[in-house]
């Protein structure tokens, strides 16, 4: 096979950061894994039973592209109650990542710009590249706050979208109401699509979750069940926004993902009836433990939502510090996987208490080189 067959876009997608971490991890005998970006608790029993019932009931064929009517109607009712937008429409996607890919592919022309806040979810940069766009990064260090003056200055005639993620992966930062309202109003003023990635919506610990869609009815929201209901492998998301955008995304889904897996959609319907507040409370407790134990050793900012700490390395680069952690059997992720800068590392506290306790002891030990 000739190298010349590979499309140019693939050479702009670099997976080396994550690959290096896991190459190092292969040699670990008793790993303490604080790298996983998914809940450690099991899928709720009612969700599993709904999935089994759907499979055994023969619901294993394609659904309509936009999703089964009962799930779509339940989501639409919930969204209508929350926003009251006359033109807001929902459809079911094959995972939140699938929804993001559809959104960017629908909106972005070759050379268009998408504003992304750095640090960012690792997939954003690559999905923008896949769509033919260019990321305009806005540095949010050290506090990870949204500076509206920087956003305004970054908007050019080529700006097509602003991609916002609150609560944020990897920083755990939860944007304030003032930040989100200002961002929503600025996007409306500049006629730029605001895409709000709300997959960690239920995991807010210090202040209530707010969506920028409440101040801008053209906001495109991407959401899903993966994190809230521990359904990462089941690939079930949804998107809602202005009907003219949603209809184009549905058209693209028809010719790419076709639909979300039908049995999983019935499981999603059951998930909508689940109370996960006990799991959110458990992560709030774990976060409190980590901050209490590590704050005297590390500079920790953000960490108000999701299940991550994005911590400044106390010495060396983020990559060098992570290599040292891995030597000590602790698996964490270097910050340059999520950023233009190599100064931080990400901890996931979606883990058992015993694992967190072991990880904390190592982090305390290696804080001083």
Annotated domain spans of the chain: 3-43+276-366, 45-271
Residue 123, H or E segment: helix 122-130
CA distances 22 to 129, 148, 203, Å, are 24, 37, 27
**Tell me, what's the pLDDT at 22?**
67
CB atoms within 10 A of CB 10: 9
Query: Who contacts 211 (Cβ-Cβ below 8 Å, separation ≥6)?
Result: 82, 180, 196, 198, 201, 219, 221
326-342 burial string, b = 16+ CB within 10 Å, else e? beebbbbbbbbbbbeeb
> pLDDT tens digits for the chain (369 residues)?
577 888 888 888 876 666 666 676 677 778 899 998 899 999 999 999 999 999 999 999 999 999 999 999 999 999 999 999 999 999 999 999 999 999 999 999 999 999 999 999 999 999 999 999 999 999 999 999 999 999 999 999 999 999 999 999 999 999 999 999 999 999 999 999 999 999 999 999 998 999 999 999 999 999 999 999 999 999 999 999 999 999 999 999 999 999 999 999 999 999 999 999 999 999 999 999 999 999 999 999 999 999 999 999 999 999 999 999 999 999 999 999 999 999 999 999 999 999 999 999 999 999 987
CATH fold of 3-43+276-366? 3.90.1150
146 in Cβ contact with 175 (< 8 Å): yes
Q: Look up the CATH number of domain 45-271.
A: 3.40.640.10
Which has the closest alpha carbon to 128: 110, 162, 104, 160?
104
């Amino acid at each position: 096979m000739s190298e010349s067959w590979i499309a140019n876009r693939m050479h702009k997608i670099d997976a080396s950061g994550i690959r290096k971490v896991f190459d190092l991890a292969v040699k670990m005998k008793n790993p303490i894994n604080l790298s996983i970006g998914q809940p450690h608790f099991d899928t709720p029993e009612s969700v599993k039973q709904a999935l089994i019932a759907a499979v055994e009931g023969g619901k294993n064929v394609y659904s309509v592209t936009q999703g089964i009517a009962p799930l779509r109607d339940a989501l639409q009712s919930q969204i209508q109650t929350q926003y009251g937008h006359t033109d807001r429409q929902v459809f079911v996607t094959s995972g939140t990542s699938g929804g993001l890919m559809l959104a960017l592919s629908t909106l972005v022309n070759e050379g268009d710009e998408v504003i992304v806040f750095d640090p960012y979810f690792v997939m954003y940069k690559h999905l923008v590249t896949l769509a033919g766009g260019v990321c305009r990064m806005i540095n949010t260090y050290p506090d990870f706050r949204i500076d509206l003056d920087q956003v305004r200055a970054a908007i050019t005639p080529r700006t097509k979208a602003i991609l916002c993620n609150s609560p944020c992966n990897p920083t755990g930062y939860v944007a304030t109401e003032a930040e989100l309202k200002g961002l929503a109003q600025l996007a409306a003023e500049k006629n730029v699509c605001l895409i709000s990635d709300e997959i960690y919506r239920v995991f807010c610990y210090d202040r209530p979750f707010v969506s920028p869609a409440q101040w801008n009815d053209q906001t495109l929201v991407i959401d899903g069940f993966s994190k809230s209901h521990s359904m990462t492998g089941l690939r079930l998301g949804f998107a809602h926004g202005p009907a003219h955008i949603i209809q184009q995304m549905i058209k693209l889904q028809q010719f790419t993902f076709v639909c979300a897996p039908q049995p999983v959609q019935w499981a999603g319907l059951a998930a909508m009836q689940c109370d996960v507040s006990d799991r959110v409370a458990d992560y709030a407790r774990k976060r409190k433990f980590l901050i209490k134990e590590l704050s005297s050793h590390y500079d920790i900012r953000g960490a108000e939502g999701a299940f991550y700490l994005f911590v400044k390395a106390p010495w060396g680069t983020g990559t060098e510090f992570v290599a040292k952690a891995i030597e000590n059997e602790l698996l964490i992720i270097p910050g340059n996987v999520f950023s233009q800068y190599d100064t931080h590392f990400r901890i996931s506290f979606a883990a058992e208490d015993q694992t967190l306790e072991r990880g904390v002891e190592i982090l305390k030990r290696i804080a001083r080189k």
